[in-house]
């Protein structure tokens, strides 16, 4: 596994990580996972959800959304990205700039990022959008009482035409969740998007 010094990671503060989206010839985007913003390890490896303590890819594997492991901490290889794109899966963030912790983002930054995300969704038209982080979702979209799961304003709201889900944040700092509980939560929007068969998990 790749490792970085604190100084090396700090050099990636405010960097941006390219979205993982379908290119020419790829299947249509069916499921768009949305993180809060890139961490420094993600920025250093140009790989979403890359911190070694993050449970995102293990949860996707456990849910059956992925059929082979991804080692994001060393940086995705092209074959990893191709597997996700070929399954109709994309990854982006609410806020594009990298920070050490999501708590460094202020509410205005989250609201601005929410508007930019809505514009991206309108352009790419995924079947389902799954935002990983309830607190960030509440702030970014002005729904302070929103709860996890499928959001009733997904169709006809800012994501007109796409079904909207909020799922748990896979960060290792989210001690309430395990790989098993994350897998169960991620399987629901994956089934809704048609990237996972009903009855899997």
- Tens of pLDDT along 149-198? 999 876 557 788 899 999 999 998 888 899 999 999 999 999 999 999 76
- Asked if 57 and 33 touch (Cβ cutoff 8 Å), the reply is no
Helix, coil or strand: residue 8:
helix
pLDDT by 10s per residue, the chain, length 201: 578 999 999 999 999 999 999 998 999 999 999 999 999 999 999 999 999 999 999 999 999 999 999 998 888 999 999 999 999 999 999 999 999 999 999 999 999 999 999 999 999 999 999 999 999 999 999 999 999 999 987 655 778 889 999 999 999 888 889 999 999 999 999 999 999 976 555
The answer to whether position 93 is within a domain reads yes
The answer to whether position 197 is within a domain reads no
CATH of the domain at 87: 3.40.470.10
The answer to whether position 153 is within a domain reads yes
Kindly state the tokens that stand for 108. Answer: 């205005």
- What residues make up the domain containing 84? 6-192
- Asked if 134 and 98 touch (Cβ cutoff 8 Å), the reply is no
pLDDT score recorded for residue 78: 93
The answer to whether position 113 is within a domain reads yes
- Asked if 36 and 93 touch (Cβ cutoff 8 Å), the reply is yes
The answer to whether position 199 is within a domain reads no
Which residues of 46-125 form beta strands (DSSP E)? 89-93
The answer to whether position 58 is within a domain reads yes
Rounded to a whole number of angstroms, the distance between the first and last alpha carbons of the chain is 29
What is the pTM assigned to this prediction? 0.94
The answer to whether position 99 is within a domain reads yes
Phi, psi (rounded to 5 degrees) for 114: -65, -40
Q: What is the dihedral of CA 154, 159, 161, 163, to 10 degrees?
A: -40
Placement of tokens 């250093």 in the chain: 44
Domain count, the chain: 1
The answer to whether position 36 is within a domain reads yes
Kindly state the tokens that stand for 130. Answer: 């799954």
d(CA 61, CA 45): 20
Nearest to 186 by CA among 147, 134, 132, 117: 132
Phi, psi (rounded to 5 degrees) for 159: -110, 45
pLDDT score recorded for residue 1: 59
pLDDT score recorded for residue 30: 97
- The angle subtended at Cα 6 by Cα 5 and Cα 12, nearest 5°, is 100
Helix, coil or strand: residue 58:
helix
- Asked if 18 and 46 touch (Cβ cutoff 8 Å), the reply is yes
Helix, coil or strand: residue 93:
strand
């Amino acid at each position: 596994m790749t490792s970085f010094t604190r100084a090396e990671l700090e050099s990636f503060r405010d960097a941006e990580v390219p979205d993982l989206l379908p290119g020419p010839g790829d299947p249509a985007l069916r499921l768009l996972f949305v993180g809060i913003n890139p961490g420094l390890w993600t920025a250093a490896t140009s790989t979403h959800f890359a911190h070694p303590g993050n449970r995102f890819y293990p949860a996707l594997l456990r849910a059956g959304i992925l059929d082979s492991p991804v080692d994001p901490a060393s940086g995705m290889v092209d074959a990893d990205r191709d597997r996700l794109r070929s399954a109709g899966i994309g990854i982006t963030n609410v806020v594009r700039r990298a920070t050490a912790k999501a708590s460094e983002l202020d509410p205005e930054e989250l609201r601005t990022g929410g508007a930019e995300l809505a514009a991206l969704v309108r352009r790419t038209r995924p079947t389902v959008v799954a935002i990983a982080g309830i607190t960030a979702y509440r702030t970014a979209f002005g729904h302070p009482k929103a709860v996890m799961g499928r959001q009733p304003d997904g169709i006809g709201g800012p994501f007109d035409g796409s079904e909207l889900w909020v799922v748990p944040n896979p960060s290792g700092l989210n001690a309430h969740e395990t790989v098993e509980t994350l897998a169960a939560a991620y399987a629901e929007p994956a089934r809704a998007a048609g990237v996972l068969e009903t009855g899997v998990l």
